[in-house]
Amino acid sequence: MTPTPRPLEGKTVIDFTQIGAGPTCTMILADLGARVVKIEPPGGDIGRTLGPGWIDGVAALFHGFNRNKQGLTLDLKSEVGQEVALRLIADADVVVESMRPGVMDRLGLGETTCKAAQPDLVYCSVSAYGQTGPYSRRAGVDGIMQADSGLMSLIGFPETGPAKVQTPIVDVFTGYVAACGVLASLMIRQGDERPQLDISLFRSAIALQQAAITSYLVDGEEPRKQGSAAPYSAPNEAFPTADGWIMVAAYNGGRWERLCDVLGCPELAAAPGLATSGERVANRQRMVAVLTEYFLRRTNAEWFELLSEADILCAPVSTYGDLLRHPQVVQADLLAQVPRSNGDTIMTPGPAIKFHGTEQPRMTAAPPRSGDPREVLRQFGFSDEEIDAAIASRCFGGVQ
């Protein structure tokens, strides 16, 4: 295989983000070859404390969002800390920040100030509700966004209360949206105006529900919880088997008829009220009750083989333990071994962006909390005397 192209090689990103969304954005940029310097407050990124799952006292979540970055602890409330930050920004291509709107301005690091130091800078702000509007100054995290955007109302079964997607889906999706915005901004010709990117968790959570919200705007019908089912097609849901659950999508292209053949009930394909996907959606409860009787007769593995041979879309409902044994995961480098400075490695999901026919890009572990101010600052042209003076000011959280 050829080496992975690094399209952002030579670009520098200064990362003032914490927890999930912003760090996801800057991790993607790092995976694509950018030099990312993660700036943490003296107390550290809050994500370091969000367990369970710990590696030497640091939350696995932090490691999962911060590979391939350099680190620097910097007190942005101090005058020297702000001066150091502006020096870094003056030699950077991108700033990504996830403060509440107005905070970076109060710290002397708002868009206007930063672009005075570096006119071609891409300045990306990631916040809960965006830079404008009545909620712009409100804080928010993934679960709050799942609730406020309506997403939480779709999750679970009709008889259950509110439920949330357990992985921080809004955070991660927002990070990808922000990375897409940064890449688009970098394509604007040098010297042309690059407007501030206003990326919000709330806007991203709404965009994540494109199909459901559009349907509501068309017919005014509030969506109902469907468990594992898709509200717009059937069968497109999970069925219990003799030893687990299997997800089946057999609603078009002749797959409904083939499913009935494989199950051993060919007469069901043309039964009144079940012949079309729309009819099956309207009569889903009846359809599920009949199909479940057949699915319970075999195991997941048996059904997977039979359905796959008939070109019926299906997959077992996997646990994470199952996922690690998945043939595609094992053979296609979907997990990354990230080396640590002590010689150990951390396993994480690899980059989602892959260039065909290339190796997995090289990885480095998330930076230690204090970072190495001397190493980082020398890369930005600071003299040893300037570094000593900055360290003496304690703007690096007491690092000596």
Check residues 360 and 149 and name the one with the higher pLDDT: 149
Half-sphere exposure of 121 (CA within 13 A, CB side): 26
Q: Which candidate, 276, 272, 259, places its Cα nearest to that of 310? A: 259
> What mean pLDDT is predicted for residues 45-72?
94
> What mean pLDDT is predicted for residues 304-321?
96
Question: Other C-beta atoms within 10 Å of 59: how many?
Answer: 19
| pLDDT per residue as tens digits for the range 71-108 | 999 999 999 999 999 999 999 999 999 999 999 999 99
> What mean pLDDT is predicted for residues 97-121?
97
**DSSP annotation string for 129-156:** S-SSSTTTT----HHHHHHHTSGGGGSS
pLDDT band at 200 (very low <50, low <70, confident <90, very high): very high
pLDDT band at 398 (very low <50, low <70, confident <90, very high): low
Q: Which residues contact 184 (CB under 8 A, 6 or more apart)?
A: none
pLDDT at 5: 80
pLDDT at 115: 96
pLDDT band at 336 (very low <50, low <70, confident <90, very high): confident
pLDDT band at 283 (very low <50, low <70, confident <90, very high): very high
- Give the integer Cα–Cα distance in Å for 351 and 361: 8
Q: Does position 271 have pLDDT exceeding 90, yes or no? A: yes
- Give the integer Cα–Cα distance in Å for 228 and 124: 36
Q: Does position 400 have pLDDT exceeding 60, yes or no? A: no
> What mean pLDDT is predicted for residues 145-159?
94
> What mean pLDDT is predicted for residues 49-71?
94
Structural tokens at position 46:
């809050």
Q: Does position 343 have pLDDT exceeding 90, yes or no? A: no
Q: Does position 238 have pLDDT exceeding 80, yes or no? A: yes
pLDDT at 111: 97
3-state secondary structure (DSSP) of residue 102? coil
Mean pLDDT of the chain: 94
pTM: 0.93
